[in-house]
């Protein structure tokens, strides 16, 4: 089973650690390596951190099947999140 990981600030990652997420990253320079390794099934990325990534990496993240990259911010669009969750688990949980 693939794991869930996060990429963001220490404060962003803390909540996920408390929820049981074992692997967290704070350095955006690791993003491409995380995609290449494929060790994680889902990578939750802090919205601001995601926006700081180069466009080519955001495009790659948007099309990545493993890990599924989920940018998470206060402005996150629920439709986009629903689509990403469906991509990750194979079913629509909103129906």
User: For residue 27, what is the domain's CATH number?
Assistant: 3.40.50.10580
Report the C-alpha gap between 83 and 90 in whole angstroms. Answer: 10
Q: Are strands 3-7 and 40-46 parallel, antiparallel or unpaired?
A: parallel
Query: Could you read off the pLDDT of 22-48 as tens digits, one per residue?
Result: 899 999 999 999 999 989 999 999 999
Weakest mean pLDDT among 1-5, 6-10, 47-51, 53-57:
1-5
* Tens digits of residue pLDDT in 56-89: 999 999 998 899 999 987 665 556 667 777 777 7
Q: What's the confidence (pLDDT) of residue 59? A: 94
- Is residue 94 assigned to a domain? no
Q: What is the pLDDT of residue 7?
A: 96
Report the number of distinct structural domains present in the chain. 1
Share of the chain above pLDDT 90, in %: 57
For 3, phi and psi rounded to 5 degrees?
-95, 170
Q: What span, in angstroms and rounded, lies between the C-alpha atoms of 70 and 59?
A: 13
**Is the peptide bond prior to 67 cis by the omega test (within 30 degrees of 0)?**
yes
* In-domain check, residue 21: yes
Domain that holds residue 78: 3-89
Q: Is the pLDDT of residue 18 over 70?
A: yes
Cα separation, 53 vs 79, in Å, equals 22
- Kindly state whether residue 11 falls inside one of the protein's structural domains: yes
Model pTM? Answer: 0.75
Residue 95 lies in a domain: no
Task: List, in sequence order, the alpha helices (H) in 7-54.
Answer: 10-18, 31-37, 47-52
DSSP summary character for residue 29: G
């Amino acid at each position: 089973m693939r794991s869930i990981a996060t990429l963001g600030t220490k404060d962003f990652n803390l909540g996920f650690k408390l929820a049981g997420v074992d692997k967290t990253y704070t350095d955006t320079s690791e993003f491409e390596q995380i995609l290449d390794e494929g060790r994680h099934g889902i990578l939750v990325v802090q919205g601001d951190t995601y926006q700081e990534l180069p466009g080519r990496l955001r495009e790659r993240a948007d099309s990545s099947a493993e890990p599924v990259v989920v940018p998470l911010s206060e402005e996150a669009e629920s439709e986009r999140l629903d689509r990403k969750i469906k991509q990750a688990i194979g079913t629509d949980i909103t129906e």
